[in-house]
């Protein structure tokens, strides 16, 4: 646990992962400054509910503040960094969604590229001690060598969303190299759990199962995913936050490892390391919800990949991270939350 009189800035604080990270930070007594734009990509009511949970935590009145800004607003972000003077930044805000990036590419360019540039500038000018930022398993794109390892090249993204996440990794490395900014990029693998995003498969499936609608099962069910429970993700994020990136003393510029650098920049997979068939995921969810799904099998969608699997050995070596939550246990908790919060299924 880090000790500092300066706050931690969490971007996307009303989002699924952002709210969960902020909660853990507040519970361990750290001051958190949050920022979110509450955009309507999915229900702002769910985002407000997550924020209300944070505001109800003990000592939140003096440890937590939230600002409503968009990352693309250069002046607002510069003011936020200047006024809050954060010790570290956990950057989780982004325009999410693989399929939506095909329909609305401009949103990704503005939020994920322009917005991330403003975050990097804020870190540089306010001498931030560590930037932890969200990347994605989607950067592996067309790679078929499994499990995915950070040393593999990621030169074949199959969606604009994935391309922006790879660009974030390159941008962060550049700032680490030029300005000595310690930065750690985390490639998240299919995060699920209570308070999750309604545009992702777990919530879409749960809603359809409970309402009797059909679920769309892409690639005719021939998919595998490395589903990772939210609590495990948060644990990994905080462990990385507490151990700032350092240059790799063994970095070889003639045979460069994409995951490390001579600059203080590191990349890690963060996943469950136990990929499961999509149909097995659906079966477990049916069991915990007590209802059968009506399945509508469809072809593979543009921008999707057939399988993901995380090699997390590097993260385990760096911060002793190991996921703890088995899929059956995580889905039981998720199903219980869904049934207790039907208002977020509308």
Question: What is the percent of the chain with per-residue pLDDT over 70, rounded to a whole number?
Answer: 99
Question: Does residue 264 sit within a domain?
Answer: yes
pLDDT tens digits along 211-245? 999 999 999 999 999 999 999 999 999 999 999 99
DSSP characters over 199-251: TSHHHHHHHHHHHTPEEEEGGGG--EE--EEHHHHHHHHHHHHTS-----TT-
Counting the structural domains of the chain, the total is 1
pLDDT at position 60: 97
Q: For position 35, which CATH number holds? A: 3.40.50.720
Please give the positions annotated as active site.
Answer: 161
Question: Does residue 206 sit within a domain?
Answer: no
CB atoms within 10 A of CB 293: 20
Cis preceding-peptide flag for 201 (omega within 30 of 0) = no
Question: Does residue 113 sit within a domain?
Answer: yes
Distances (CA, A) of 119 to 56, 84, 291: 28, 13, 44
**For residue 92, what are its two tokens?**
């989780």
Question: Does residue 247 sit within a domain?
Answer: yes
Question: Does residue 214 sit within a domain?
Answer: no
pLDDT at position 102: 85
As a whole number, mean pLDDT of residues 47-68 equals 97
The rounded distance, in Å, linking the Cα atoms of 184 and 172 is 8
Question: Does residue 51 sit within a domain?
Answer: yes
The rounded distance, in Å, linking the Cα atoms of 119 and 34 is 13
Crossing angle (nearest 10°) for helices 44-55 and 16-27: 0
- In this structure, what are the phi and psi dihedrals at residue 135, rounded to the nearest 5 degrees? -105, -155
Question: Does residue 178 sit within a domain?
Answer: yes
pLDDT tens digits along 275-323? 999 999 999 999 999 999 999 999 998 888 899 999 999 999 999 999 9
pLDDT tens digits along 134-169? 999 999 998 889 999 999 999 999 999 999 999 999
| pTM (two decimals) | 0.96
What separation, in Å, do the N-terminal and C-terminal C-alpha atoms of the chain show? Answer: 39
Q: What residues make up the domain containing 244?
A: 8-191+228-273+309-324
Question: Does residue 109 sit within a domain?
Answer: yes
Instruction: Return the half-sphere exposure (C-beta side, CA atoms, 13 A cut-off) of residue 232.
Output: 28
**For residue 304, what are its two tokens?**
């999707």
Quote the mean pLDDT of the chain. 95
pLDDT at position 228: 98
């Amino acid at each position: 646990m880090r000790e500092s009189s300066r706050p931690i800035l969490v971007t996307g604080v009303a989002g699924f992962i952002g709210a969960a990270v902020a909660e853990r930070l507040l519970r361990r007594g750290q001051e958190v400054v949050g920022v979110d734009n509450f955009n309507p990509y999915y229900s702002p009511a769910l985002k407000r509910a997550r924020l209300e949970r944070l505001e109800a935590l003990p000592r939140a009145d003096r440890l937590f503040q939230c600002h409503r800004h968009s990352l693309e607003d250069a002046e607002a972000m510069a003011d936020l960094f200047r006024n809050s003077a954060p010790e570290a930044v956990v950057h989780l805000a982004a325009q999410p969604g693989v399929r939506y990036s095909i329909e609305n590419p401009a949103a990704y360019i503005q939020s994920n590229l322009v917005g991330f540039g403003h975050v990097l500038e804020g870190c540089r000018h306010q001498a931030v001690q560590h930037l932890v930022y969200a990347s994605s398993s989607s950067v592996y794109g067309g790679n078929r060598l499994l499990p995915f390892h950070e040393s593999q090249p990621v030169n074949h993204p199959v969606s604009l969303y994935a391309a922006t996440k790879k660009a974030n990794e390159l941008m962060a490395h550049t700032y680490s190299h030029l300005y000595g900014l310690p930065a750690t990029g985390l490639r998240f693998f299919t995060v699920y759990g209570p308070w999750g995003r309604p545009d992702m498969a777990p919530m879409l499936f749960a809603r359809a199962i409970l309402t009797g609608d059909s679920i769309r099962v892409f690639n005719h069910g021939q998919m595998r995913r490395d589903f990772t429970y939210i609590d495990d993700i948060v644990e990994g994020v905080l462990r990385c936050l507490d151990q700032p990136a350092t240059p790799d003393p063994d970095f070889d510029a003639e045979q460069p490892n994409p995951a490390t650098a001579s600059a203080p920049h590191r990349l890690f997979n963060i996943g469950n390391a136990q990929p499961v068939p999509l149909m097995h995921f659906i079966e477990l969810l049916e069991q915990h919800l007590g209802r059968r799904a009506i399945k509508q099998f469809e072809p593979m969608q543009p921008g999707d990949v057939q399988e993901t699997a995380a090699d997390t050995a590097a993260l385990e070596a760096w911060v002793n991270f190991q996921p703890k939550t088995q899929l059956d246990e995580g889905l039981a908790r998720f199903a219980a939350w869904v049934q207790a919060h039907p208002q977020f299924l509308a």
